[in-house]
């Protein structure tokens, strides 16, 4: 029971971390293009 909940939370966490990394990279690219 707890393991399945933990697995789903870890999947969502990984998804959010990946999204955050993509947003950070996009932000850096945009910043470099503005300079």
DSSP string of 1-35? -HHHHHHHHHHHHHHHHHHHHHHHHHHHHHHHHH-
At residue 22, the pLDDT reads 98
Alpha carbon dihedral 9, 13, 19, 25, in 10-degree steps, equals: -170
* Residue among 10, 22, 23 nearest 2 (CA): 10
At residue 2, the pLDDT reads 84
Distance CA 35, CA 31 (A): 7
Model pLDDT for residues 1-35, shown as the tens digit of each residue: 788 989 998 899 999 999 999 999 999 999 999 88
pTM (whole model) above 0.85? no
At residue 23, the pLDDT reads 98
């Amino acid at each position: 029971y707890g393991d399945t909940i933990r697995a789903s939370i870890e999947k969502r966490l990984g998804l959010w971390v990946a999204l955050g990394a993509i947003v950070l990279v996009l932000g850096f690219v945009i910043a470099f293009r503005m300079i």
